Amino acid sequence: MNAAAPDHVRIFDTTLRDGEQSPGCSMSPQQKVVMARALAELGVDIIETGFPASSQSDREAAALIARELRETTLCVLSRCLPGDIEASARVLQAAAKPRLHVFLSTSPLHREHKLRMSREQVLEATARNVAHARSLVDDVEFSTEDGTRTEKDFLAEVISAAIAHGATTINVPDTLGYTTPSEMRALFQRLIAEVPGAKDVVFSAHCHNDLGMAVANSLAAIEGGARQVECTINGIGERAGNCAMEELVMALKVRGAYFDADTRIDTRRLVPTSQLLSRLVGMPVQRNKAVVGANAFAHESGIHQHGMLRHRGTYEIMNPEDVGWPASQMVLGRHSGRAAVAHRMQALGYVLEDDALDRVFAEFKALCEQQRVVEDDDLKRLMQGDAGDDGYRLASMTVSDRGQRAVAQVELSDPRSGHVIESALGDGPVDALFAALSAATGVELKLESYQVHSVGIGNDARGEANLSVRHEDGEYQGTGTSKDIIEASALAWLDIANRVLRTRQPQRISASA
């Protein structure tokens, strides 16, 4: 007899609504359409496309998406107000699978200070507005805002009233990211067991990440019986964000036997979708973020690399290809060991005897004191015996702001040709600096991300600049440190440019047989 299939957990994506409310993450209607297409291709069950009563932009985006996407349920958010509900219903008229999502605060704090309503008034407003929404749209979701901080008996009353008046999905949000997994599991178990009509609706969790538990709380809600989770790509959203879809989906995938639940998400599209959102809103994903961060499948430690070379399962619980990465990365840096260096050299065509490997490994360690990451072209340079050629060095620079345009002049020293001086204009000091460096070196780099921060405190404080760029088909990272943050930026740029230039140098020795 075949085992029962895992329960289907519906993925309700609110990247275009709650996610967009994250400061700095606003999207134009056209950008929202692009993102909605990607979410549909990802396999999202429900896409919350906006809050029509909040702005003309939201109304336009929701209407555009409703006309284009025909297979995915499309949802819009509305307050429990007749005008909001009717505006939302109008936006959904073109949708093939519309859902109207109404919400009302239920916690004592919100009732007193935000709504200025009594329990009885909240109950009456819930019944009246859910019924109004249901008269306009068949699929109605009701949310108890700040539900996890609501009295247990009153929360059950409100949910019962919503179900009785036509709600088909009940969402109990942890609006402030306050609760814990054990509390969340127990809450859903109790509501589903005790509320009249609970077995006839889908219960949903919407968890915020203020205490870093959004994903854990969402998984606990699933254990408690929730069969819809509201989440966002990259976990963006109000304050510390929402439950990160990619983390929730892969937790259910990797630990399927434990949760006995799964989604319909095409996990191979998680990384491309994450990167699309990052480009649209200009918010980079932190490198160490689970699943979609650049370091999620990268290994630098010698112990970890040695284990990975023996068996991937020693240090990875997911295949990178399953979430959209091309492969695991064996990053060579100061923590790497001989085994990883020897493996990379062999992949480059160099089979080294022990004494030769000893020499290369010693030079590799010395190079790691100058740069954080050693690339393939650096290893080739070690084999060529010209490790002393450090490429371009910054001799001097001047940067000034002249009204709307900045100007930068750089002087670089090159061991092979003396000095080169170039200047350039830019939209700001850093833009002008990078343009001057490009003119001086002949290297064109497309900036993907630029971050600066302080290292150390007091008199020992220094500025560190971190760049991520694209050159032709490759992606490079560079780091520079200096007392002056503009100089640190120049050093980071040159760190990358010198590596690019080394790849252009012809191989001067043949690979060993």
Q: How far is the C-alpha of 169 from the C-alpha of 136, rounded, in Å?
A: 16
User: Exposed (0-12), middle (13-18) or buried (19+): which is 196, by Cβ within 10 Å?
Assistant: exposed
By residue count, the chain amounts to 513
Q: How high is the pLDDT of residue 456?
A: 62
Number of H helices, E strands in the chain: 17, 18
Q: How far is the C-alpha of 272 from the C-alpha of 234, rounded, in Å?
A: 11
Q: How far is the C-alpha of 205 from the C-alpha of 183, rounded, in Å?
A: 13
Lowest mean pLDDT among 292-296, 332-336, 403-407, 444-448: 403-407
> Is 234 annotated for ligand binding?
no
Contact call for residues 295 and 288 (beta carbons, < 8 A) = yes
> Is 110 annotated for ligand binding?
no
Q: What's the angle, vertex CA 8, arms to CA 175 and CA 191, rounded to 5?
A: 45
Q: How high is the pLDDT of residue 350?
A: 80
Tell me the average pLDDT across 51-61.
95
Q: How high is the pLDDT of residue 501?
A: 81
CATH classification number, 22-281, choose in 3.40.50.2000, 3.20.20.70, 3.30.70.3270, 3.30.230.10:
3.20.20.70
CATH 3.20.20.70-classified regions of the chain:
22-281
- Is residue 510 predicted with pLDDT exceeding 60? no
Identify which has the larger pLDDT, 122 or 3.
122
Tell me the average pLDDT across 447-458.
77
Q: How far is the C-alpha of 423 from the C-alpha of 438, rounded, in Å?
A: 10
Cα torsion 272, 276, 279, 285 to 10°: value is: -50
Q: pLDDT for 273-297, tens place per residue?
A: 999 999 999 899 998 999 999 899 9
Let me know if domain 393-504 sits in CATH 3.30.160.270: yes
CATH 3.30.160.270-classified regions of the chain:
393-504
> Is 299 annotated for ligand binding?
no
> Is 13 annotated for ligand binding?
no
- Determine how many CB atoms are found less than 10 A away from the CB of residue 261: 18
